A and B are shown apart, each in its own frame.
Chain A
């Protein structure tokens, strides 16, 4: 089983979720715990080394849930390889990418 951890914090009025490890079929379901209705949500992927097929789907589902709850969700710190995979599979098109993150 791959390792995955998650921690929540706040930067100004935005909730920040820092994800660490690999997002795959073993860990993807944990993502949905981060969602806070309303406001802004920043998903920090700078410590995520791999996102599997299930992981990409979970991120997209999270994004859609956020929109239904009027939460503005953005992702940040996407590592080159993860960004490449998201771009090649078309998933990247759905996300707002925030450049830089202030911890």
Chain B
């Protein structure tokens, strides 16, 4: 029997010969490189280029292998496409030269002397090994590469965890395992993170949010430390290529296998029931302003990709020099292509959009009431089940927490939650009323959108760690080389009496308790909690609240902390399990009628300015009931408890004032109270009670604890 190879196509033969290569006109869509029988098809957009040249390199060689100008009849509309036969994708690097006008006032900055990265490059070479010194003199330093996209996904499926059930863990691929104490075989890599999945399982989180993993250059940072040593761009909010995973985060990056390694990580996380959200940075690129390097977009079609002033300069709503023109129809298509690609090709479960307020600005910077990009992402069929999370502000004062155009789909980093909980915990007056709205999913902000629109957090990568929040009144960013001028000043932090590390046992005990208070409030609030990696073990950055440039132990997760601080880890772990066990804490919608408020007396909340105590009882399905008493006062309060529902009694799940192991009781083992109707809530403490049916053999009765604490 003769079998016709199904891969054979009637158009897989060359029609032209250019620079020694057999070619034909390519299919113009999709953009980027596509593998076809016998060759590769290259397709790139430029509206204003007069001509375009494909530049081929053999991997690692300084000089190009060949330059193939696209014949005029290979252009369809604004798209140049060509199939080149006989190329080996594994050893090929490529780029484009675009020739056109250089007229900055009109927005054109073409420069045919530059070789440009393909905006759709699936791999980028040049930064394969983290920290290896770059060769700035090399022709075409960052290079596009084709990717073998097939992967052994097996039966991998997105976990599909409902938004309200997520507990998000924000982390940095390198920082999570780079510390010498991590004990993994490839520290600081995707593979290293994969080895730590058992830790994530033990902690109980079901979603990791990875700080940027799109290719960037960690040497892209003009600052030096106080001794003149160059600082790196550790965080990576300076994207070179939006379709390429960072090679330097892969142990196999030097072999170009970062895509396989990252996919292996995603697959294994999914197998462990953990979703993957990527922090994506569409608000700007690594090209900076008019003085920055021409890498890709500027040279291909400056007027399309960037927001330009009438004089042809770059608007700087991102604070980094340029601003992506996100609502330009072509850029919308680019962003959509990119996100679809990460969902289809890498099985990503959601995205957190950095400085997302920029995503709803028009080309001249005007905020749009109905931004087409956000609507398009909300309704896109491939992104239908993706989590879409906005950092709903930008660096130019557009603050949209509560008003980000959501189309029923978008959630937000709730900055007001963070600020309110911080102010409450440190003992500010006049916060109790706002705290009440924050812990039930901020209905003032998200009425009609539900509690799931609120990503609740007390700390994130940007700002103090939790330990530093309770150890420093002020930021200490001297190590960043800008004289402590960088980073936020309004931290709402309190050092508990001493600035920085101390041996005072009273201060340290209070700090530990304050960290537990923050975790207790966060993990019992409605909405979606997000934990900053390391906060569960008290990670410190020594008061630095902007460690974007600190690729060292200041930022890295120190794995010995778990051993030196098992108490906090245990507390957080059991509280996460408690959250998973109690649907009363996480309805998707605002449960106005399932909530009752209390002060020192049941049913009588004290909303006055000097009140620093609030208790809330929440009722969920199947009789689930949880009572949380939050006392930010430096005095204890002897409180009256509300009547538990018939047939249930109040049992103690957690009391942050109780010495371990009585600070938290594993789900299902909560002991009933000694004095059922009352609870003495200690100074600066949080108490969590759960309604349970009395058992035949009650566990040991639990008494409330009191311990002395310093006044503020």
Contacts and interface: CB of A to CB of B under 8 A. Distances in A.
Residue of B186, B255, B261 with most partner-chain A CB within 10 A: B255
Interface string B97-125: 00000000000000000000000000000
A22 B191 CA distance: 23
Contact of A25 (B88, B150, B189, B261): B88
Contacts of B704: none
A91 B252 CA distance: 12
A89 B264 contact: yes
Contacts of B252: 85, 88-89
Contacts of B185: 84, 87
A90 B190 CA distance: 11
A90 B152 contact: yes
Given A88-B251, A88-B264, A90-B268, 6 more contacts: A25-B91, A26-B88, A60-B152, A89-B264, A90-B260, A90-B267
A94 B255 CA distance: 20
Interface centre among A50, A57, A60, A94 (most CB of B within 10 A): A57
Interface in A54-103: 54, 56-57, 60, 84-85, 87-91, 94
B257 A89 contact: yes
A56 B91 contact: no
A90 B255 contact: no
Interface of A: 24-26, 50, 52-54, 56-57, 60, 84-85, 87-91, 94
A87 B250 CA distance: 12
A57 B150 contact: yes
19 contacts: A24-B90, A50-B255, A53-B148, A53-B255, A54-B148, A56-B257, A57-B148, A84-B186, A84-B251, A88-B251, A88-B257, A88-B264, A89-B252, A89-B257, A89-B261, A90-B261, A90-B263, A91-B260, A94-B152
Contact of A88 (B90, B152, B189, B267): B189
A64 to B, nearest CB: 9
B89 interface: yes
Contacts of A57: 148, 150
Closest 3 CB pairs of A and B: A90-B264, A88-B191, A25-B90
B151 to A, nearest CB: 8
A52 B256 CA distance: 9
A82 to B, nearest CB: 10
Interface in B181-196: 185-186, 189-191
Contacts of A25: 88-91
A89 B265 CA distance: 8
Nearest to B251: A88
Contacts of A52: 90, 255
Contact of B186 (A26, A56, A88): A88
Interface in B152-195: 152, 185-186, 189-191
Contacts of B191: 87-88
A53 B251 contact: no
Contacts of A87: 185, 191
B619 to A, nearest CB: 45
Contacts of B152: 60, 90-91, 94
Main secondary structure of the interface of A (DSSP, over half): helix
A84 B263 CA distance: 16
A54 B149 CA distance: 11
Contacts of B268: 90
A17 to B, nearest CB: 22
B139 to A, nearest CB: 25
A60 B148 CA distance: 14
A60 B89 CA distance: 19
Contacts of A91: 152, 260
Contact of B250 (A24, A50, A56, A88): A88
Contacts of B255: 50, 52-53, 85
A90 B250 CA distance: 13
A25 B59 CA distance: 13
A29 B251 CA distance: 26
A43 B443 CA distance: 63
A31 to B, nearest CB: 15
Interface string B243-256: 00000001110011
Contacts of A50: 255
Contacts of A54: 90, 148
A87 B260 CA distance: 11
B416 to A, nearest CB: 41
A88 B254 CA distance: 13
Contacts of B251: 84, 88
Contacts of A26: 88
B89 to A, nearest CB: 7
Interface in B43-88: 88
Contact of A89 (B90, B150, B260): B260
A53 B90 contact: yes
Contacts of B250: 88
Interface string B370-401: 00000000000000000000000000000000
Contacts of B257: 53, 56, 85, 88-89
Nearest to B91: A25
B155 to A, nearest CB: 13
B697 to A, nearest CB: 46
B251 to A, nearest CB: 5
Nearest to A81: B255
Contacts of B90: 24-25, 52-54
Nearest to B153: A90
A84 B253 CA distance: 12
* Chain B CB within 10 Å, residue with most, of A56, A57, A85, A88: A88
Interface in B474-531: none
Q: Which of A25, A89, A94 has the most CB of B within 10 A?
A: A89
Nearest to A64: B152
Contacts of B186: 84, 88
Nearest to A51: B255
A45 to B, nearest CB: 16
Contacts of A53: 90, 148, 255-257, 260
